[in-house]
Structure 1
Amino acid sequence: MATALNNLALLYNGQKRYTQAEPLFKQSLEIRKKLQGEGDIEVATALNNLGLLYNYQRRYSEAESLFKQALELSRKLLGEENHYVAGSLNNLGTLYNEQRQFTEAEPFYQKALVIYQKILGEKHPYLIQTFSNLATLYNNQDKYPEAETFYQQAIELSKELLGENHPNTKKNMQHYLSMKYRMS
Structure 2
Amino acid sequence: MNKAGDDMILADILDKLARLHMELEGEAEAIPLLERLLKIKKNSPAPDLAGIIIIFNNVAEAYRVCGKYEESEKYYKQALAVTQKLRGKKHPAVGSIYQELAKLCDRQRKMDVANKYREMASAIFQKVMEEQEDAAGVTEGRLTL
TM-score (norm 2): 0.69
Q: 1:114 & 1:147 partners in 2: Cα distance?
A: 18
Alignment CA distance shift 1:45-1:127 (3 Å): farther
Q: Are 1:39 and 2:7 matched, yes or no? A: yes
| Structure 2 letter corresponding to 1:71 | L
Residue number in structure 1 paired with 2:104: 137
Structure 1 residue 152 corresponds to structure 2 residue 116: no
Contact 2:28 2:63 in 1 (8 A): no
Unaligned runs of 5+ in 1: 1-36, 164-184
Give the letter for the 1:102 counterpart. Y
Q: Aligned pairs, how many? A: 126
State the structure with bigger RCO (CA 8 A, min sep 6), 1 or 2.
2
% identity of equivalent residues: 24
**Bigger radius of gyration:** 2
Q: Output one character per residue of 1:101-142: Cα deviation in whole Å (capped at 9) or x when no partner.
A: 112212111122112112221122321321122111101001
The aligned counterpart of 2:66 is 99
Contact 1:50/1:63 (8 A) holds in 2: yes
Alignment of 1:1-184 (within 5 A): 38-40=6-8, 44=11, 47-48=14-15, 50-78=17-45, 82-161=49-128
CA RMSD of aligned residues (A): 2.9
Gaps of 5+ in 2: 131-145
